[in-house]
Amino acid sequence: MGGRERGRGRSGRKTATAAPREAGVRVRTAKGRKASSTRWLRRQLNDPYVAAAARRGYRSRAAWKLAEIDDRFGLLRPGAAVIDLGAAPGGWTQVAVERLRGRGRVLAVDRAAMAPVDGAQVLRLDLADEGDVARLAGEVPDGCDIVLSDMAIAATGHRPTDQIRNQALAEIAGDIARRVLRPGGALLAKTFHGGGAAPMMAALKRDFARVRTVKPAASRSESAEVYILAQGFRAARER
């Protein structure tokens, strides 16, 4: 992948190793620019994953998070049916399409408008609306193999409120997964440390054979985000 060395994982799949370090870029505090904005700009300019995403043509640095998790766990296989929740701007969708190699189906879902991704079907739906969720389920009458969710709210700055709202999004992803996954399917959903994920983890352990948390290298170390990976979905009759 652009600018990254590749090796092979246990399964023989090609793997994406850590992105290269970029030369440091200094950013001066401009008149009228807040110090916080300067810090954000400096971090973006010096982030190797931002640079690697631009070289690779990915729409967001978050694409590397899914790529790393897939390298490790082999979730995205040709022939799979994949639903990407909260897909905009489309970085995860791009990775899913690449990994399916033209075999399978990718549905990208967001309530915001999203530019098309070749090889994916884009649906503009509000996942908090039961009617829209029913429409999504109707798009996969035979079920799907993987539900992805990198959904997160726009931060308010009030940490307890943000944690509760982010956890609510993770739980929406879990509920949709139970509704649309085929037996043996998988869910990968973003959550946050301290966000009250324990009850969700316990519930998922009743419905999936294996549940764990994963933090890819592309996830910034200072970020509280982690990903819940639930594999081996048990259909209702199997529970």
Give the catalytic positions in this structure. Answer: 190
Beta bridge partners of 29: none
Return the biggest CA–CA distance within the chain. 64
| Residue 124 CB contacts under 8 Å (≥ 6 apart), including other chains | 110, 111, 112, 113, 114
Distance CA 16, CA 1 (A): 7
Distance CA 42, CA 32 (A): 16
Distance CA 95, CA 88 (A): 13
Cα R_g (the chain), whole angstroms: 18
Of 202, 153, 195, 194, the closest CA to residue 174 belongs to: 202
| Cβ(217)–Cβ(18) below 8 Å | yes
Beta bridge partners of 103: none
Give the end-to-end CA distance of the chain in Å, rounded to a whole number: 41
Distance CA 112, CA 125 (A): 8
Structure-block tokens of residue 111:
């309530």
